[in-house]
Amino acid sequence: MRVRKKAWTVAEYENNIHICHESEKYKGKWNELFGNGNPIYVEIGCGKGRFISQMAAQNSDINFIGIERQSTIVATAARNLGNNAKNVYLIHGDVENLADFFEVGEIKRLYINFCDPWPKKKWIKRRLTHRNFLEKYKAVFGDKAEIFFKTDNRILFEFSLNEFCADDWKLSNISLDLHNSDYEGNIMTEYEEKFSEKGFPIYRLEARWEKN
Protein backbone atom coordinates (compact mmCIF):
# COMPACT_ATOMS: atom_id res chain seq x y z
CA MET A 1 0.00 0.00 0.00
CA ARG A 2 1.38 3.38 -1.01
CA VAL A 3 -0.08 6.51 0.55
CA ARG A 4 0.84 10.00 -0.55
CA LYS A 5 2.19 12.10 2.29
CA LYS A 6 -0.14 14.77 3.59
CA ALA A 7 0.70 17.85 5.61
CA TRP A 8 -0.76 16.48 8.84
CA THR A 9 0.94 13.07 8.81
CA VAL A 10 4.31 14.19 10.22
CA ALA A 11 2.77 15.81 13.29
CA GLU A 12 0.37 12.89 13.69
CA TYR A 13 3.21 10.40 13.51
CA GLU A 14 5.27 12.30 16.07
CA ASN A 15 2.52 13.02 18.58
CA ASN A 16 -0.23 10.41 18.37
CA ILE A 17 -0.55 8.48 21.64
CA HIS A 18 -1.20 5.19 19.84
CA ILE A 19 2.19 5.12 18.11
CA CYS A 20 5.03 3.52 20.04
CA HIS A 21 8.27 5.08 18.84
CA GLU A 22 10.66 3.07 21.02
CA SER A 23 9.08 -0.32 20.57
CA GLU A 24 12.28 -2.29 21.16
CA LYS A 25 12.51 -1.06 24.74
CA TYR A 26 9.11 -2.59 25.50
CA LYS A 27 10.22 -6.06 24.50
CA GLY A 28 8.96 -8.24 27.33
CA LYS A 29 7.22 -5.24 28.91
CA TRP A 30 4.23 -4.57 26.69
CA ASN A 31 1.75 -5.44 29.43
CA GLU A 32 3.37 -2.74 31.56
CA LEU A 33 2.69 -0.23 28.80
CA PHE A 34 -0.91 -1.40 28.45
CA GLY A 35 -1.28 -1.42 32.21
CA ASN A 36 -2.77 -4.92 32.43
CA GLY A 37 -1.98 -8.59 31.90
CA ASN A 38 -4.34 -9.20 28.99
CA PRO A 39 -3.26 -11.38 26.03
CA ILE A 40 -1.53 -9.58 23.15
CA TYR A 41 -2.67 -10.05 19.55
CA VAL A 42 -0.59 -8.62 16.69
CA GLU A 43 -1.69 -7.60 13.20
CA ILE A 44 1.06 -7.63 10.58
CA GLY A 45 0.41 -4.86 8.05
CA CYS A 46 -2.39 -3.02 9.82
CA GLY A 47 -3.02 -0.62 6.92
CA LYS A 48 -5.26 2.31 7.80
CA GLY A 49 -6.40 0.63 10.99
CA ARG A 50 -9.97 -0.42 10.26
CA PHE A 51 -9.54 -4.06 11.26
CA ILE A 52 -7.48 -3.52 14.40
CA SER A 53 -9.70 -0.65 15.52
CA GLN A 54 -12.87 -2.71 15.34
CA MET A 55 -11.22 -5.76 16.87
CA ALA A 56 -10.05 -3.67 19.81
CA ALA A 57 -13.48 -2.12 20.26
CA GLN A 58 -15.14 -5.54 20.36
CA ASN A 59 -12.49 -7.16 22.57
CA SER A 60 -11.62 -4.88 25.45
CA ASP A 61 -9.97 -7.79 27.28
CA ILE A 62 -7.34 -8.17 24.54
CA ASN A 63 -4.37 -5.89 23.84
CA PHE A 64 -3.73 -5.24 20.14
CA ILE A 65 -0.53 -4.15 18.40
CA GLY A 66 -0.40 -3.27 14.71
CA ILE A 67 2.85 -3.34 12.72
CA GLU A 68 3.19 -1.30 9.53
CA ARG A 69 6.25 -0.50 7.40
CA GLN A 70 5.29 2.97 6.16
CA SER A 71 5.21 5.87 8.60
CA THR A 72 2.51 7.68 6.63
CA ILE A 73 0.19 4.69 6.92
CA VAL A 74 1.01 4.34 10.62
CA ALA A 75 0.01 7.99 11.11
CA THR A 76 -3.22 7.44 9.17
CA ALA A 77 -4.11 4.36 11.20
CA ALA A 78 -3.36 6.14 14.46
CA ARG A 79 -5.56 9.06 13.51
CA ASN A 80 -8.38 6.71 12.56
CA LEU A 81 -8.20 5.05 15.97
CA GLY A 82 -9.30 8.24 17.70
CA ASN A 83 -8.94 8.71 21.44
CA ASN A 84 -11.12 5.89 22.71
CA ALA A 85 -9.01 2.87 21.72
CA LYS A 86 -7.27 2.19 25.02
CA ASN A 87 -6.02 -1.26 24.07
CA VAL A 88 -4.15 -0.51 20.81
CA TYR A 89 -0.59 0.50 20.00
CA LEU A 90 1.02 0.80 16.58
CA ILE A 91 4.61 0.05 15.61
CA HIS A 92 6.42 1.52 12.61
CA GLY A 93 8.49 -1.52 11.72
CA ASP A 94 8.94 -4.67 9.67
CA VAL A 95 7.86 -8.23 10.39
CA GLU A 96 11.46 -9.26 9.75
CA ASN A 97 12.25 -7.64 13.11
CA LEU A 98 9.43 -9.26 15.07
CA ALA A 99 11.87 -10.78 17.56
CA ASP A 100 13.23 -7.30 18.32
CA PHE A 101 9.80 -6.15 19.47
CA PHE A 102 8.54 -9.11 21.47
CA GLU A 103 9.92 -11.50 24.05
CA VAL A 104 9.39 -15.22 23.47
CA GLY A 105 5.84 -16.13 24.48
CA GLU A 106 4.71 -12.52 24.80
CA ILE A 107 2.18 -12.59 21.96
CA LYS A 108 -0.68 -15.06 21.61
CA ARG A 109 -1.98 -14.54 18.06
CA LEU A 110 -0.94 -13.07 14.72
CA TYR A 111 -3.32 -11.70 12.11
CA ILE A 112 -2.02 -11.62 8.54
CA ASN A 113 -4.58 -9.87 6.35
CA PHE A 114 -4.19 -9.34 2.61
CA CYS A 115 -0.42 -9.33 2.51
CA ASP A 116 1.47 -8.83 -0.74
CA PRO A 117 1.14 -12.08 -2.78
CA TRP A 118 4.57 -11.62 -4.38
CA PRO A 119 3.38 -13.41 -7.54
CA LYS A 120 6.69 -14.04 -9.29
CA LYS A 121 8.50 -17.29 -8.55
CA LYS A 122 11.70 -15.48 -7.60
CA TRP A 123 9.78 -13.64 -4.85
CA ILE A 124 8.28 -16.69 -3.14
CA LYS A 125 10.46 -16.37 -0.03
CA ARG A 126 9.05 -12.87 0.55
CA ARG A 127 5.56 -14.22 1.14
CA LEU A 128 4.63 -13.85 4.79
CA THR A 129 3.39 -17.44 4.89
CA HIS A 130 6.58 -18.92 3.51
CA ARG A 131 7.98 -21.54 5.88
CA ASN A 132 10.96 -19.30 6.66
CA PHE A 133 8.58 -16.72 8.12
CA LEU A 134 6.54 -19.42 9.85
CA GLU A 135 9.68 -20.54 11.66
CA LYS A 136 10.35 -16.95 12.73
CA TYR A 137 6.84 -16.65 14.08
CA LYS A 138 7.19 -19.88 16.04
CA ALA A 139 10.45 -18.68 17.55
CA VAL A 140 8.68 -15.59 18.92
CA PHE A 141 5.55 -17.45 20.03
CA GLY A 142 7.50 -20.06 21.97
CA ASP A 143 5.50 -23.17 22.88
CA LYS A 144 2.22 -22.33 21.12
CA ALA A 145 1.41 -20.33 18.00
CA GLU A 146 -1.80 -19.12 16.39
CA ILE A 147 -2.19 -17.33 13.05
CA PHE A 148 -5.39 -16.09 11.39
CA PHE A 149 -4.86 -15.47 7.69
CA LYS A 150 -7.02 -13.83 4.99
CA THR A 151 -6.37 -13.06 1.33
CA ASP A 152 -8.17 -12.53 -1.95
CA ASN A 153 -5.39 -14.28 -3.87
CA ARG A 154 -6.12 -17.96 -4.54
CA ILE A 155 -2.54 -18.78 -5.57
CA LEU A 156 -1.20 -17.30 -2.35
CA PHE A 157 -3.85 -19.12 -0.35
CA GLU A 158 -3.05 -22.49 -1.89
CA PHE A 159 0.64 -21.81 -1.37
CA SER A 160 -0.05 -20.93 2.27
CA LEU A 161 -2.04 -24.11 2.86
CA ASN A 162 0.91 -26.14 1.65
CA GLU A 163 3.43 -24.16 3.69
CA PHE A 164 1.48 -24.43 6.93
CA CYS A 165 1.01 -28.16 6.47
CA ALA A 166 4.66 -28.73 5.56
CA ASP A 167 5.70 -26.83 8.69
CA ASP A 168 3.48 -28.97 10.93
CA TRP A 169 0.70 -26.46 11.64
CA LYS A 170 -2.86 -27.65 12.28
CA LEU A 171 -5.47 -25.91 10.13
CA SER A 172 -9.11 -25.16 10.89
CA ASN A 173 -11.97 -22.92 9.74
CA ILE A 174 -10.71 -23.01 6.16
CA SER A 175 -12.93 -20.99 3.85
CA LEU A 176 -12.71 -20.61 0.08
CA ASP A 177 -15.47 -17.99 0.05
CA LEU A 178 -15.64 -16.35 3.46
CA HIS A 179 -18.49 -13.94 2.81
CA ASN A 180 -20.74 -16.74 1.58
CA SER A 181 -19.83 -19.11 4.41
CA ASP A 182 -21.40 -19.64 7.82
CA TYR A 183 -18.45 -18.03 9.61
CA GLU A 184 -19.65 -15.41 12.10
CA GLY A 185 -17.88 -12.37 13.48
CA ASN A 186 -15.77 -11.45 10.46
CA ILE A 187 -14.37 -7.93 10.48
CA MET A 188 -13.39 -6.57 7.08
CA THR A 189 -10.24 -4.67 6.30
CA GLU A 190 -10.23 -1.79 3.82
CA TYR A 191 -8.84 -4.09 1.13
CA GLU A 192 -11.33 -6.81 1.92
CA GLU A 193 -14.28 -4.51 1.39
CA LYS A 194 -12.89 -3.30 -1.93
CA PHE A 195 -12.16 -6.79 -3.22
CA SER A 196 -15.46 -8.29 -2.10
CA GLU A 197 -17.41 -5.45 -3.73
CA LYS A 198 -15.76 -6.43 -7.00
CA GLY A 199 -16.95 -10.00 -6.56
CA PHE A 200 -13.66 -11.59 -5.51
CA PRO A 201 -13.98 -14.50 -3.05
CA ILE A 202 -12.14 -14.06 0.23
CA TYR A 203 -10.03 -16.95 1.50
CA ARG A 204 -9.45 -17.53 5.19
CA LEU A 205 -7.82 -20.03 7.52
CA GLU A 206 -6.75 -20.45 11.11
CA ALA A 207 -3.41 -22.14 11.79
CA ARG A 208 -2.16 -23.43 15.11
CA TRP A 209 1.11 -25.01 16.15
CA GLU A 210 2.22 -26.48 19.45
CA LYS A 211 5.72 -27.47 20.41
CA ASN A 212 6.14 -31.19 21.05
Is the pLDDT at 84 greater than 80, yes or no? Answer: no
pLDDT bracket for residue 5 (50, 70, 90): low
Position 29 in a domain: yes
- Count of structural domains, the chain: 1
* 16-63 pLDDT tens trace: 999 999 999 999 999 999 999 999 999 999 999 999 999 999 999 999
CA distance 167 to 161: 10
* 118-139 pLDDT tens trace: 999 999 999 999 999 999 999 9
For residue 59, give its domain range.
9-210
CA distance 81 to 118: 29
- SS3 of 54-83: the string is HHHHHCCCCEEEEEECCHHHHHHHHHHHCC
What is the CATH number for 138? 3.40.50.150
User: What average pLDDT is seen over the chain?
Assistant: 94
pLDDT bracket for residue 10 (50, 70, 90): confident
Position 3 in a domain: no
* 175-211 pLDDT tens trace: 999 999 999 999 999 999 998 999 999 999 999 999 9
Position 2 in a domain: no
Choice between 205 and 84, residue whose per-residue pLDDT is larger? 205
Position 88 in a domain: yes
| DSSP H stretches of helix in the chain | 9-15, 30-34, 50-58, 71-81, 98-101, 131-141, 154-166, 190-197
Residues designated as active site: 116
CA distance 202 to 81: 25
Position 49 in a domain: yes
